[in-house]
Chains A and B, each alone.
With several copies, the nearest count.
Chain A
Amino acid sequence: MKFGILVNEGPYQHQASDSAYQFAVAALAKGHEIYRVFFYNDGVNNANKLTEPPQDDRNITRQWSALAAAHNLDMVVCVAAGLRRGIKAEILAPGFNISGLGQLIQAGIEADRLVVFGD
């Protein structure tokens, strides 16, 4: 089955991005396809490559980048939400792409299920 995932909160402050990541890992482990992960609202902050949490904590941005690399995930950061919050090409972590909100609608159209993670 094809899943779309929408992440509406940034890393750490809320669990939303962690939950979305665990869901994505589990879906891939079960042989499902992730059609796209779309980052909107503060979710765009997940794509900031400068994040450097304490050594004994998870690095959420790097987790997403690694998952994208391993499974050829399409991870899209909303351009408008990103501009508003200062998430631009110069600080974009590997695996994330900046594109329009239409990519969220497209995910809704093409995926069999769209799962929302927010606050």
Chain B
Amino acid sequence: MAVLHTTNKSPLQTRDLESCLRLTRPGCGILLLEDAVYGALKSAEGSDMLAEAAKDRRIYVLGPDLAARGFTPEELIAGVTVVDYGGFVDLVAEHHHVQAWV
């Protein structure tokens, strides 16, 4: 069972997402929540880094956090899955353990 990673900071503000990508491996899942959802926007600088990661990792975005910030799933980079809190719970249950990149 793969590992689920969570990260909650905007990659335009901190380097947490960079570290998360450097220290995780193909096959894992990465859930972006809170301010981290900005990192998955097509329009934002640096989202190519995440688009690249999406080729061999499953990237998830917490929908309620995305909506709160005024964006829609259509504005996300390709290959990203939007989940709600119930989906977050399912992801945690489906993975071996969860690691937070706070």
Contacts and interface: CB of A to CB of B under 8 A. Distances in A.
A113 B1 CA distance: 13
Interface residue tally of chain A, by bracket?
A: 20 to 34
Contacts, number: 53
Given A113-B98, A116-B100, A19 B34 contact: yes
Nearest to B9: A119
Interface stretch (B18-26, B49-57, B88-96): B88-96
A29 B87 CA distance: 12
Interface residue tally of chain B, by bracket?
A: 10 to 19
A19 B33 contact: yes
B71 interface: no
Given A1-B93, A15-B8, A118 B102 contact: yes
A30 B89 contact: yes
A32 B100 contact: no
A22 interface: yes
A119 B33 CA distance: 12
Nearest to B68: A15
A29 B90 CA distance: 12
A3 interface: yes
B102 A116 contact: yes
A84 B84 CA distance: 28
Interface of A: 1, 3, 8, 15-16, 19, 22-23, 25-27, 29-30, 32, 112-119
Interface of B: 6, 8, 33-35, 64, 84-86, 88-90, 92-93, 95, 97-98, 100, 102
9 contacts: A8-B102, A19-B34, A25-B85, A30-B86, A112-B93, A113-B97, A116-B98, A117-B102, A119-B8
